[in-house]
Chain A
Amino acid sequence: MQNINMNVLGALIVYFIGVFGIGFYSMKFVAKASSQVTDEGGFLTEYLAGGRDLGGFVLAMTMVATYLSAGSFIGGPGTAYTFGLGWVFLAMSQMPTGYFTLAVLGKKFAIVARKINAVTVTDFLRARYDNKAVVIISSISIIAFFIAAMGAQWIGAARLIEGSVGVSYRVALLFFAITVLVYTTIGGFRAVALTDAMQGVVMTIGAFALLIGTITAGGGVTNIIQNMYAQDPGLISPFGVQEGFMTMAWVTSFWILVGFAIVGLPQVATRAMSYKDSNSMKKGIIYGTVVSMFLLLSMHFIGAFGSVIVPGIEAGDLVIPTMATRLFPGAIAGIILAGPLAAVMSTVDSQLLIVVGAIVNDLYINYINPEARKNAKLTSRISFGATIVVGILVYMVAFNPPPLMVWLNLYANAGLISTFLWTVILGLYWKRANAPGALASMVVGVGTYILFSKVWARPLGMHTIALPLILSLIAFVAVSMSTREPEERIIETFWGI
């Protein structure tokens, strides 16, 4: 690993050029939107929602690529390497996300977003609850949690480049940061969605090749499974290799965290308001389910099978790069490694844009300078500036890396889910939901989550997030019912024609 692997580097560079190309293509749309003077807020609709123009395939790919992150491509396989088939089983709890999120937010979310002209989730909350505290808490929670999450993701990406190309961590980080920043800044949401689509394809091809390579190298499934059994019977049991870690309640509670509650992630919800028509949604569900099912299963298989094919590597996180470089000649390994890198890139680009949305659309335009909405030139300049500043901040967070990125990533996700899940779902489907209820659910959700993660890591045997989500639902309903119902005008905007 000391020498620079030119083959892998070459493949990655070709891939990065493709990403830049898409950035420049999308820049045309952004430039057009920023030169329009008359259209109110037209720039932000393009920059943050791609002009609500996503077709089914791009929708599915950007959705999958956004929620399948470094966790699913590096950390997840890494943990499967250590714990075996049980972790592949756990990973399948994320499978419903492919159909669940789009079906549950549904066309209603897309319809409402058009009614109130929302381009961020906070726009939706602002119109629905008409409350300053709700808007400010949700914006700040986006900014804080996403910078932490992006830090972890960037570390994953840099480690991946470091491990496969052989350059130093710092060079890798810089290389990655500049690429993501450039295409996101110039191309906005359209660039992000299109690069996600390309990255989704790269990921799928990479995962397929690596899966076939792995099974062949291990001498077939039967052989691999029997070797795993011989190494440690726990590797083929749903309870893993370590007593008391992968308990039934804990593993099952991942359905709440990564399966169902993903609906509450702002970057996922934004996509659910950006598709073009009913048909894109239908196709989005079909492609999204197929692709996420395949990717989850194959990437985690590779990790679990790796335990007998490349035993004894120092950190589980390195299983994917190690397998790719050992099983394949350089140039092909490069293409395969572009897969997980694509997964990270497509997650952070959307997170970056969500943070920019929170700063520019939700805080700056709402509270600091409302006049800016009409001034597309000014908004565009501020959006570009914010993207770059946030990027530099994340770069600094990632510069001194903490080791366990899976947990860091889950921590931030849980915080975001506690803030957004019920406020979005109940706001959309329950007329009685009001601002005090929303605030109560945010405070109880985030508060109990932070408390539990310090003193009671597995409430009732489940993952830390499960109980806080239930408590915040109870708080939402109880407080809403005991305070005034929302104003008639809000209900009419949301439910009327």
Chain B
Amino acid sequence: MKETVERKKEFIEDPRYKQCNREALMGAGLGIANLIWWFGWGYGLGSGSPSEYTYIMGFPAWFFMSSIVGAILFTVLAVIMVSKYFKEVPLETINKKEAEAIQQELE
């Protein structure tokens, strides 16, 4: 029993994970925003009768906004996300000293 308590004390969480979790949440958030954009424009403008559609560059507006603009916009957002908010961390197994250095760097 005592041993497990002691081991728990020694257990330091990998400092890289905080950043990893943040990046994963950002990726998930972007995905959900993408879904909302697609759904909102697609069904918002596309649910009426096709005889009443308006057109942008030849495409029905619902399609142009949801699928073409959406695709380009979220590609750009993905590029911004990884270039600005994703951080460079080593992937190899690290020791305590390196862990401390990484922790400082990330903060």
A residues sitting closer than 8 Å to B (CB atoms) are 85, 88-89, 92-93, 95-96, 98-100, 102-108, 110-111, 114-115, 220-225, 229, 233-234, 236-239, 248, 252, 255, 259-260, 277-279, 281-282, 285-286, 289-290, 293, 297, 429, 488, 491-492, 495-497
Contact = CB atoms under 8 A, between A and B. Distances in A.
Interface of B is mostly: helix
Given A111-B16, A429-B21, A89 B66 contact: yes
A233 B58 contact: no
A248 B27 CA distance: 25
Contacts of B104: none
B38 A248 contact: no
Interface residues of B, number: 64
Contacts of A114: 91-93
Interface of B: 4, 7-8, 11-17, 19-21, 23-24, 26-28, 30-31, 34-35, 38-39, 42-43, 46-47, 49-51, 53, 55, 57-60, 62-63, 66-68, 70-72, 74-75, 78-79, 81-83, 86-96, 99
Contact of B17 (A224, A233, A277, A495): A495
A279 B88 CA distance: 7
4 nearest CB pairs, A to B = A103-B27, A221-B58, A222-B58, A108-B20
Nearest to A215: B58
25 contacts: A85-B59, A89-B38, A96-B30, A96-B35, A99-B78, A103-B28, A103-B30, A107-B20, A111-B91, A115-B93, A225-B59, A233-B49, A234-B50, A252-B39, A278-B86, A278-B87, A279-B88, A286-B79, A289-B74, A297-B67, A429-B21, A429-B24, A497-B14, A497-B94, A497-B99
A74 B43 CA distance: 26
Interface of A is mostly: helix
B82 A282 contact: yes
Contacts of A106: 20, 23-24, 27
A110 B43 CA distance: 38
A220 B31 contact: no
Given A89-B66, A95-B71, 19 more contacts: A95-B34, A96-B34, A96-B74, A100-B31, A103-B23, A114-B92, A114-B93, A222-B58, A238-B63, A260-B31, A278-B88, A278-B91, A286-B82, A289-B75, A293-B71, A293-B72, A429-B24, A492-B7, A495-B17
B89 A278 contact: yes
Nearest to B34: A96
